[in-house]
């Protein structure tokens, strides 16, 4: 998982976010290997595509290292993030195949401006009335995925009506359940 950040002037990804820790803890308690990715400082809005590529590279390095250390197939990985990390991963998996080996992308309170096709299944969740400006998120994003996409049936979009702020929901259980679904297939 990866953290949120300031898109205008992002720093390194945080390792101590409660939501990231909660999901990784739940995964570890259920015998999964889980990690919070401390991605590098990126250019942010100054170069959105370069930022998303850098973050995808950092996730790939983390997955590759963990797979090597524990003798696992990296194709069994699921990536995810909150806010900034979700935006970056949605952008990267929509336009590149860098993380196409993953089983899916957990994107909490992130959005993408224009994408109808992804290289992996996505689970997008956001609050209703969320200020995720400049894009589609939640159920709206899911509905926009091209019906001919090989990943549409494995994807899901949720707009949480119990919250109306950016990243205002407690989605550990939903994110974990989706991760389990992808990894069980």
Give tens-digit pLDDT for 122-132: 999 999 876 66
Using the predicted structure, report yes or no on whether residue 66 has a pLDDT greater than 60: yes
Contact between residue 24 and residue 35 where contact means Cβ atoms under 8 Å apart: yes
Give CA–CA dist 14/21, Å, rounded. 11
- Report the pLDDT value the prediction gives residue 18, as an integer from 0 to 100: 96
Strands 156-160 and 104-108: unpaired
Backbone φ and ψ for 170, nearest 5 degrees, come out as -105, 100
Which candidate, 82, 54, 81, places its Cα nearest to that of 166? 82
What is the pLDDT at residue 65? 98
The pLDDT value given to residue 132 = 62
Q: What is the pLDDT of residue 130?
A: 66
* pLDDT for position 185: 83
Higher pLDDT, 77 or 185: 77
Q: Give mean pLDDT, residues 87-112.
A: 96
Kindly state which CATH superfamily the domain 18-184 is placed in: Alpha/Beta hydrolase fold, catalytic domain (3.40.50.1820)
Q: What is the pLDDT of residues 101-143, one digit of tens each?
A: 999 999 999 999 888 899 999 999 999 876 665 688 999 999 9
Mean predicted lDDT score pLDDT of the chain: 95
CB under 8 Å to 39, separation ≥6 — which residues? 2, 12, 13, 54, 55, 58, 59, 85, 88
Does residue 75 carry a pLDDT above 80?
A: yes
Q: Model's pTM, two decimal places?
A: 0.96
CA separation for the pair 87, 54 (Å, rounded): 13
Domain chopping of the chain, boundaries = 18-184
């Amino acid at each position: 998982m990866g953290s949120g950040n300031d898109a205008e002037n992002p720093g390194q990804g945080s390792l101590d976010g409660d939501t990231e820790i909660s999901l990784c803890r739940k995964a570890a308690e259920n015998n999964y290997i889980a990690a919070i990715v401390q991605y590098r400082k990126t250019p942010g809005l100054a170069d959105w595509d370069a930022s998303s590529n850098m973050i995808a590279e950092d996730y790939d390095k983390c997955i590759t290292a963990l797979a090597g250390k524990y003798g696992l197939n990296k194709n069994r990985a699921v990536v995810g993030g909150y806010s900034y990390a979700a935006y970056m991963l949605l952008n990267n998996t929509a336009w590149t195949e860098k993380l196409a080996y993953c089983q899916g992308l957990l994107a909490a309170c992130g959005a993408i401006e224009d994408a109808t096709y992804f290289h992996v299944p996505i689970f997008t969740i956001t609050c209703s009335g969320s200020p995720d400006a400049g894009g589609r998120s939640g159920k709206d994003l899911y509905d926009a995925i091209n019906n001919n996409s090989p990943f549409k049936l494995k994807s899901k979009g949720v707009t949480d009506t119990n919250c109306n702020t950016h990243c205002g929901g407690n989605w550990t259980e939903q994110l974990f359940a989706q991760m389990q679904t992808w990894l069980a297939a």
